[in-house]
A = this chain, B = another copy of it.
Amino acid sequence: MDFINEASETVAGAAADIKAWEAAHLEKVFVPFYSSADIRISSNKAAVVDTNIFPAGFNNLSPEFRDRLGLLIRDAISRKYPGTGKLLVIPEIHARNPHYWENVKTLEEVLRARGFEVKVGFVDDEIKRGAVSVAASGGGTVEVVKAARDGAKISAAGFVPDVVLLNNDFSNDCPTILRDIEQPVLPPVEIGWHSRRKDVHFEFYNSLAREAAAVCKIDPAIISIETRLIEDVDFDESEDRERVALVADEMAGTVPAGPLLFVKSNNGTYGMSVVAVSGGDAIRNMNAENRKKMRAGKSKKPSGQIVIQEGVETVLRTDEGMPAEPVLYMVETEVAGAFYRTNSKKSAAENLNSSGMEFRQFPDCVKDLRNIPELLSLCAKIAALAAGYEIEKVMLEGGCE
């Protein structure tokens, strides 16, 4: 952890300059209301490998972080939309994972604890009932009421929210009911994974990482993550695999961390479609199972576009020896909290966001990090800003259209 501590000291020493740099970007771009960043830390690198604009997992935050989260949310909403008292949270109504619903329940509780009146609503016309009660993993339930549009306003069972908070990335479609309504929708509905592209995100991320590194005088390689787009890929076609393999070989030769690479679908989320490879040959000789994985994105579309991303081996270990990676939660560009994703079935060189994953509270399970190091906060800040520029690009290109 010497590397993290040293780099964090350098970053902390440049706090005022980083603040000015951040402020200059915030003049130019709207960052998402909230986000989470998966961070991998190796012996010489700490970089974001995934940024979620509709974070789930709030239930994995410690009571202290939940408290801070609520405070940051209220502060952000009060500044932007003074007088806001009523919030409508829109979760992924079709999610079946009770942990996801525990997350929604936690978000609801965090908001209520800060004095907001909160209802959880769904906007799916195919559900005919007026309310649905869903079991959460903690033993409780979440009441979700049907939200409907009345002219330019959305309401749910007579509850007219001041602000709508999305916890649903609408992977498949862009619900018209939430478009052009009078109430602010946070984050904007146009920016679900249906319109996000990893190559776009990481191009902004790496560009901002270079700027931030220059500001605080650290090696930009420390916080960058090489990410290459390859289009029109069908892994069942050997010539497509060869195109991908050539890029992988090229990256394996230049990536200082060694030959670890991750192949991901350029869209999609939830840790699917992520395959670790050690170079081009692993792609040339990809078996049927892995080929299938590459099109097993959330929406089951053939991937088409893929990215190859520099792999970062995680050096963090839980007390029991499981590999761990921190997930940082942000409200705008401020760190609200963190937890660890661990995985008893995976090695430090693999994607932990897969079968066998568990969540542990920060800082309890990893002795090395007692506080969130400045270097990690900076990475998550860069990711939030990058997501802001990414949203802007999506919006300029027409959003859901």
Residues of A within 8 A of B (CB): 19, 23, 64, 68, 71-72, 74-75, 78-79, 82-83, 113, 115, 334, 371
Interchain CB contact under 8 A, A79 and B71: no
16 contacts between A and B (CB under 8 A): A19-B113, A23-B115, A64-B371, A68-B68, A71-B71, A71-B72, A71-B75, A71-B334, A74-B75, A74-B79, A75-B75, A75-B78, A78-B79, A78-B82, A82-B82, A82-B83
In the bound complex, CA of A78 to CA of B83 (Å)? 9
CB nearest neighbor in B for A73:
B75
- The minimal Cβ–Cβ distance linking A337 to chain B, given in whole angstroms, is 12
In the bound complex, CA of A371 to CA of B64 (Å)? 9
Extra contacts, 13 of them, besides A71-B72, A78-B78 (Cβ < 8 A), are A64-B371, A68-B71, A71-B71, A71-B75, A74-B75, A74-B79, A75-B75, A75-B78, A78-B79, A78-B82, A79-B82, A82-B82, A82-B83
**Copies of this subunit:** 2
Closest 9 CB pairs of A and B: A82-B82, A78-B78, A75-B75, A78-B79, A74-B75, A71-B71, A71-B75, A75-B78, A71-B72
Contacts of A74 in B (CB 8 A): 75, 79
Contacts of A78 in B (CB 8 A): 75, 78-79, 82
Contacts of A72 in B (CB 8 A): 71
In the bound complex, CA of A79 to CA of B68 (Å)? 17
CB nearest neighbor in B for A334:
B71
Contacts of A82 in B (CB 8 A): 78-79, 82-83
CB nearest neighbor in B for A371:
B64
Contacts of A83 in B (CB 8 A): 82
- The minimal Cβ–Cβ distance linking A273 to chain B, given in whole angstroms, is 38
- The minimal Cβ–Cβ distance linking A387 to chain B, given in whole angstroms, is 21
In the bound complex, CA of A115 to CA of B72 (Å)? 14
Contacts of A334 in B (CB 8 A): 71
- The minimal Cβ–Cβ distance linking A309 to chain B, given in whole angstroms, is 32
- The minimal Cβ–Cβ distance linking A87 to chain B, given in whole angstroms, is 15
Contacts of A115 in B (CB 8 A): 23
CB nearest neighbor in B for A64:
B371
Contacts of A75 in B (CB 8 A): 71, 74-75, 78
- The minimal Cβ–Cβ distance linking A135 to chain B, given in whole angstroms, is 21
In the bound complex, CA of A115 to CA of B78 (Å)? 14
- The minimal Cβ–Cβ distance linking A333 to chain B, given in whole angstroms, is 12
- The minimal Cβ–Cβ distance linking A27 to chain B, given in whole angstroms, is 12
